[in-house]
Amino acid sequence: MSATQRDTAIVWLRRDLRLRGNPALAHACSQHQRVVVVFILDAAGEGDRSPGAASLAWLHRSLQALDADLRQRHSALILRRGDSHAQLQRLIDDCQATAVYWNRRYEPAVRERDAAIKQWLSDIPGLQVQSFNASLWWEPWEISTGQGKPYRVFTPMWKNMLENWRAPRPEALPQPFPALTDAPASLTLDELALRPQQRGEPAWDDGFFHARQTAPYTLWQPGEQGAWQRLREFGDGALHDYKARRDVPASAGTSMLSPHLAWGEISTPQLVSELCPDGQPPADAMINSFVRELAWREFSWHLLYHFPHLPEQPLQPKFTDFPWREDDSALQRWQRGETGIPIVDAGMRQLWQHGWMHNRVRMLVASFLTKNLLLPWQAGERWFWDTLVDADLANNSQGWQWTAGCGADAAPYFRVFNPVTQGQRFDPDGDYVRCFVPALARLPKQYIHAPWSASADTLRQAGIEPGRDYPMPMVDLQRSRERALQAWQQIR
């Protein structure tokens, strides 16, 4: 259809909150003179996985940034709330739209909803309907084993990706961007009530974005511009020593792009294109290591698509009968960072303060919950879902199942991370623990990860009274490891 015809396309955005590298938006701008960009808050349409509280706090600011970017181009973001089907119908009628475009999502409940909406829209005479891939390097059905089956082990999938290298070519920012002089009705951003204080809660998210965060971590800047700024900072700094620094939680050695990826403010295809501009697999070892992590992210979405029960049920069926414990008090101590295990508590407190946690520490707190406390991984996954600004269903589910030992390519169940030795290895001076557990700040580094091993005099000099200033360990690490291994023997 010629762009000179006065027709209207609706671009329905979800987790693709950007202008650049957005195929649905680029197609609409190239084919239609009037483009209406809409975001619909549809909790029911997400099944039982509507965004958690921390994600909503991020979403508020991401939508704010996107609307500002559109207004700079004489357009605007239209906000609606409710059933996506009904809201799209109203918008089509209001705008006399001739096309509806969106970028695909891969969560089970959303796929089912989108398929129904696509079928309904396709039955409307004269209405163009099309969906696009905006987030994945390889869509889940585009890559498979030699037997045509989905991958369940990452390394062969990564090898396939390298041997059949695909150089992404993300779309540029549409030029010129169609002005929207007669925008349809829209809710205000505050009417969506995404921030906690708009729901009558304390403003617990202020520390994510406005207060000075604990060094070496910096404030989040949601939105497309914030994503590219974060990438530039990473490319100029930590990327060049990525393999060595990525596991050190006291160092800003990771990209910290995960929330930007989760909300589609930047995409994996864009990152691969930027990091591999010659269209070939990366020759630089540091870049290769980071791109491999992006491929691991692709693996998670591959698994969720082919095994839609991933968020609730173990991928390895034998774990269905695993003898998990029920202990709400123990779960709450873990959630509050009051386990008495310093690096575990530091991670859980970082999560509460920043809405984010270092990846190495995520593995440690997950191992402690599922192995030392013997509590079900689903409880941890749900807590992360509500408290992480970067929560997405595939990575969250895959990560928890990996650590619990019940997923694809999972760490063997008998691999129980020792949080003391892990802390000594990756936080040798205790800087990470001191940041987030200040009660231990004066403790010498040889005791920082096991304060119970310090003498009474050492604890007194550090201003610590066990049980008052910092809790005693809630479990014995060795005995709880043995208990976990005994539970494993029951299902082998």
* Closest CA relative to residue 105, chosen from 193, 231, 221, 17: 17
- Is 359 assigned a catalytic role? yes
pLDDT of residue 218: 72
Q: Is residue 91 part of a domain?
A: yes
CATH number, position 302: 1.25.40.80
pLDDT of residue 215: 66
* DSSP code string of 314-339: -SSGGGGG------HHHHHHHHHT-S
Q: Are residues 241 and 350 in the same domain?
A: no
Total of domains in the chain: 3
Q: Is residue 1 part of a domain?
A: no
Candidate list 138, 301, 377, 385, residue with the active-site label: 377
- Is 324 assigned a catalytic role? yes
Query: What are the distances in angstroms from CA 358 to CA 99, 305, 367?
Result: 42, 26, 14
Candidate list 400, 402, 418, 488, residue with the active-site label: 400
- Choosing from 306, 337, 354, the residue where a domain stops is 306
Query: How far is the C-alpha of 377 from the C-alpha of 93, rounded, in Å?
Result: 46
Question: Where does the pLDDT of residue 212 fall: very low under 50, low under 70, confident under 90, or very high at 90 and above?
Answer: low
* Closest CA relative to residue 101, chosen from 25, 173, 176, 7: 25
Range of the domain at 35: 8-134
Q: Are residues 368 and 230 in the same domain?
A: no
Q: Are residues 286 and 390 in the same domain?
A: no
pLDDT of residue 213: 65
The stretch 431-436 carries a mean pLDDT of 96
Q: What is the pLDDT of residues 2-15, one digit of tens each?
A: 333 459 999 999 99
Q: Is residue 205 part of a domain?
A: no
The stretch 38-56 carries a mean pLDDT of 97
- Is 402 assigned a catalytic role? no
* Closest CA relative to residue 262, chosen from 388, 432, 391, 149: 391
The stretch 245-261 carries a mean pLDDT of 95
Q: Are residues 139 and 126 in the same domain?
A: no
Candidate list 139, 296, 338, 352, residue with the active-site label: 296
Candidate list 112, 142, 191, 293, residue with the active-site label: 293
DSSP structure class, residue 99: E
The stretch 457-464 carries a mean pLDDT of 97
Q: Are residues 141 and 287 in the same domain?
A: yes
pLDDT of residue 174: 86
Q: Are residues 421 and 445 in the same domain?
A: yes
Q: What is the pLDDT of residues 359-380, one digit of tens each?
A: 999 999 999 999 999 999 999 9
Share of the chain above pLDDT 70, in %: 97
CB 365 within 8 A of CB 357: yes
- Is 377 assigned a catalytic role? yes
Look-up of token digits 């690096």 = 343
- Is 46 assigned a catalytic role? no
CATH number, position 475: 1.10.579.10
CATH number, position 114: 3.40.50.620
pLDDT of residue 192: 98
pLDDT higher than 50, residue 189: yes
Q: What is the pLDDT of residues 270-292, one digit of tens each?
A: 999 999 999 999 999 999 999 99
Largest CA distance in the chain: 82
Query: How far is the C-alpha of 205 from the C-alpha of 198, rounded, in Å?
Result: 12
- Whether the link from the prior residue into 473 is cis, omega within 30° of 0, is no
CB 314 within 8 A of CB 320: yes
Q: Are residues 328 and 386 in the same domain?
A: yes
Q: What is the pLDDT of residues 120-167, one digit of tens each?
A: 999 999 999 999 999 999 999 999 999 999 999 999 999 999 999 999
- Choosing from 286, 306, 326, the residue where a domain stops is 306
Q: Are residues 22 and 148 in the same domain?
A: no
Q: 18-51 burial, b for 16+ CB within 10 Å, e for fewer?
A: bbbbbbbbbbbbebbbbbbbbbbbbeebbeebeb
- 314: its two tokens: 């173990």
Q: What is the pLDDT of residues 84-128, one digit of tens each?
A: 999 999 999 999 999 999 999 999 999 999 999 999 999 999 999
- Is 120 assigned a catalytic role? no
pLDDT of residue 1: 37
Measured distance between the N- and C-terminal CA atoms of the chain, rounded to whole angstroms: 61
Q: Is residue 193 part of a domain?
A: no
Q: Are residues 78 and 106 in the same domain?
A: yes
- 161: its two tokens: 């990706």
Q: What is the pLDDT of residues 88-99, one digit of tens each?
A: 999 999 999 999
Query: What are the distances in angstroms from CA 109 to CA 371, 387, 393?
Result: 30, 21, 11
Question: Where does the pLDDT of residue 173 fall: very low under 50, low under 70, confident under 90, or very high at 90 and above?
Answer: confident
pLDDT of residue 4: 37
Three-class DSSP category at 267: coil
Q: Are residues 250 and 341 in the same domain?
A: no
pLDDT of residue 387: 97
Q: Is residue 448 part of a domain?
A: yes
Which helix (H) or strand (E) element contains residue 132?
Answer: strand 128-132
The stretch 427-440 carries a mean pLDDT of 97
Share of the chain above pLDDT 90, in %: 91
Mean pLDDT value across the chain: 95
